[in-house]
Chain A
Amino acid sequence: MSVKIFRWRAIGPLLILFVIACVLWWLFADSIARREVQKVGTQMLGAKVEIQDLHLDLRHGDVTIRGLTIASPHEPFKNLLQADEIVADLDVVPLTEKKLIIDRVAANGLRFGTPRQTDGRVVAQSGEGIAGRVLAETHDWASQFQIPALQLATGKIGVDSLDPRRLSTIPAAAALDTRADSSRRAWQAAFDTLRLGPALDSASAALERLKHARATDLATLNEARRAIDRLKRARDRVTTLERNVTQGTANLKSGLAGLDSARRRDYAFARSLLKLPSLDAPAVGAALFAPAAIQPFERVLYWTQLARRYMPPGLLPRATTGTKRVRRSGEDIRFPQERALPRFLLRNAELSFLLHPNAAQPQHYAGRLTGLTSDPAVYGRPTTFGASGPRLVAGGLLNHLRGIPVDTAGATVGGITLPAFEVPSVPLRLDPGAAVTQLGFNLNGDTIHARFAIRSSNARWSRDSGGALANTTIGDLIWRTVSGISNLDVEARLAGALQHPDLAVRSNLDQAIAARLRVVLGEQVAAAERQMRARVDALVNDKVGPVQDRVNEVQTQAQAQVARQRARLDELQKQLEQRLRDLARIRLP
């Protein structure tokens, strides 16, 4: 009996199932696509992506999105952007390779920084995914620039408890004491080994005999000459010892000078323990504006690092976490290939947006984004974007074609009313008003150069009750200094290795505030420093004084001993030579 392979009657139900699937797709494709775009967008950007309506027209390769809202990943109740309508022309064929190629996007009615009702941050709370990691990294990066508030904060000057164990002078003094002691012992041992006694004794005896000798007493004369030679050799040994003593005492003197250096270091250390307000202008600028200036750098770095993660250079396989499902997600490995299509490509996007949409004459701007791709090495061209308008010039380039990615962005925005912000630590609120803002950013591999500047001629200051300096002398002082200044010029520069760049912040207010602070706090600072030095001296002098005495004593002792012996040798030699010369002058009969 032959067994049938196919169950032909099942084709009907299978077709019905297929038709049902098609109908369901037709009915729910837009909804499914909308949810997926929201989900993927939220996951990628780290902030809620909301879409009111999405329509797929695969036959014509069109996707229309209406009411797009992307929340800010950094601010809780603010949107990054909103768009009235976005129309995208898709290339349909690459969809069969699971590749999304968008030939052109037209976005209308873009608005930036609009308020929202709910907190749209996602990864800031969960910390998950690539966006979560990048957000945490950039946050850590920015936190290294936190200017210690107390450098300018309380103005309270006091001497903290000083731990003697942390002073470097005391161990240095103990070490010097040990060195002096060992030098003394070494020199004494060297002196003992000179064995000057026999030479001196034989020379004295020879001199005595020579006093009674005659010019013809050749044996006595020769003995005197040998005694002089022995004295000369003994003097050479003394000279060598003297050289050692001189060198040793010089070392001990440098040790004493080292104690002075150590004491200066201890003064500096003790000063660092004092809560002294910095009176230098750059420090004042950093304390006032660095936290606010770091914010734009942190945000640009977040987007740049995100771009680097999603648009890595090279053609090696890349693993990313797989789509979430009930089963384990695993990893999706991508295999980019030269001369093939990238996984995602947005060839060209034309953006039109409004600034001041609620103003009587809203300003229209236009922008363009080209070559946004997940595989820059496959696409072969960098991503560029630019925008221009009456008071805006912005541009950027993400070049991830080579092994070392280079990201550059710059923008100058004029007439933008910046939000008022509280100046850290001080009871002040600064409303920059309509300001000109400039941002320049270059990240070349791991080297960063960035600049952020705000210029305003109608800044307004208002008194605030917050801040560590509220109701303090410094708070009053700063308020009196800045309240009448309407010009604001702040510039922050960042340069160096990305992990630890140097931050410099300056403003037109630095000098004025620093000068006023110096007038009011200068005497207090000096008094505190005197108190601090006295405290260090009290701890150190007990240890250093005896050591200095001991070193001086050892030096003096050694030098005196050497000088004494040398003098005896010289004296004997001189007497012997004189007697020999006297005998040589006697004329023979």
Chain B
Amino acid sequence: MFALIKLIQSLFGALHSEGTPGQLAAGIVLGSFLGLTPLLNLHNALFFALLVLLNVSFAGGMLGWALFIPIGFLLDPLFDWIGHSLLLAPSLRGLWTSCYNTPIVPLTNFNNTVVLGSLVFAGLFAVPLFLATRLAVIRYRATIGERVRQSRWYRAVMASKVYNVYKMFRP
């Protein structure tokens, strides 16, 4: 329940933040990397650091993360297939062999089929996701955004103390 409230807060907090649609979309894209790929991997430390350090919507990042976790689970068989195809492609064997025998790179677990498949998928999906999200935020703010902000239930949700935590990282 707490997670759901937090998700709703994050969603509306992000939509009504002072951040630009681009910042919100970039946050969601970085969050999608965290959600789509297996979490405990070195590349996710990098994406988390980018989410914190870059001036993108942190709430959008959390929202993207939360939204894409179940999608990641659902698409795992696809990621496995993508990773398998890439890692066992004869034309790429030289690349993978040199990566595998290079310091630090193997720590990313790139040689795992699900990790590589999900990372490649998330990378390819990032651009359309960014464009679609930015367009959606612009349309939302231009149409029903103000009415939602004035509604009673919006104020009730945002009055929760959890919202204060979010405010620490708003763009």
Contact = CB atoms under 8 A, between A and B. Distances in A.
Interface stretch (B2-10, B111-119, B121-129): B111-119
B114 A328 contact: yes
B101 to A, nearest CB: 4
A328 B54 CA distance: 31
Interface stretch (B72-80, B136-144, B145-153): B72-80
The A contact surface, by secondary structure, is: loop
A4 to B, nearest CB: 5
Given A317-B93, A327-B38, A322 B112 contact: yes
A3 interface: yes
Interface stretch (A56-64, A78-86, A332-340, A450-458): A332-340
B160 interface: no
Interface residues of A, number: 31
A428 B20 CA distance: 87
Q: Which 9 A-B pairs have the closest CB atoms?
A: A330-B114, A328-B76, A330-B113, A98-B106, A335-B100, A96-B103, A335-B97, A340-B101, A333-B87
A403 to B, nearest CB: 19
B96 interface: yes
Contacts of B165: none
A7 B52 contact: yes
Contacts, number: 97
B102 A333 contact: no
Given A97-B102, A329-B114, 15 more contacts: A3-B23, A3-B55, A10-B53, A93-B103, A96-B103, A97-B100, A97-B101, A317-B87, A322-B113, A327-B76, A331-B80, A333-B88, A333-B96, A333-B112, A340-B101
Contacts of B79: 328, 330
Interface string A305-333: 00000000000010100110101111111
Residue from B72, B105, B113, B115 with most neighbouring chain A CB atoms (10 Å): B113
Contacts of A317: 87-88, 93, 96
Given A96-B103, A97-B102, A328 B111 contact: no
Contact of B53 (A3, A6, A323): A6
Contacts of A99: 106
A11 interface: yes
Interface in A67-120: 93, 96-99
Query: Which bracket fits the contact residues of B?
Result: 35 or more
A332 B101 CA distance: 15
A496 B100 CA distance: 40
Residue from A10, A328, A332, A337 with most neighbouring chain B CB atoms (10 Å): A328
Nearest to B104: A96
Contact of B54 (A5, A97, A327): A5
Interface in B80-104: 80, 83-84, 87-88, 93, 96-104
Nearest to B39: A327
Contacts of B23: 3
B114 A322 contact: yes
A90 to B, nearest CB: 16
A334 B54 contact: no
Contact of A331 (B49, B84, B102, B107): B84
A335 B96 contact: yes
17 contacts: A4-B55, A7-B52, A7-B53, A10-B52, A96-B104, A97-B102, A99-B106, A317-B93, A319-B88, A328-B79, A330-B80, A330-B83, A331-B113, A332-B113, A333-B96, A337-B100, A341-B101
A337 B88 CA distance: 15
Contact of B114 (A4, A98, A327): A327
Nearest to B38: A327
Nearest to B113: A330
Contacts of A11: 53
B88 to A, nearest CB: 7
A217 to B, nearest CB: 104
A322 B96 CA distance: 17
Contacts of B52: 7, 10, 13-14
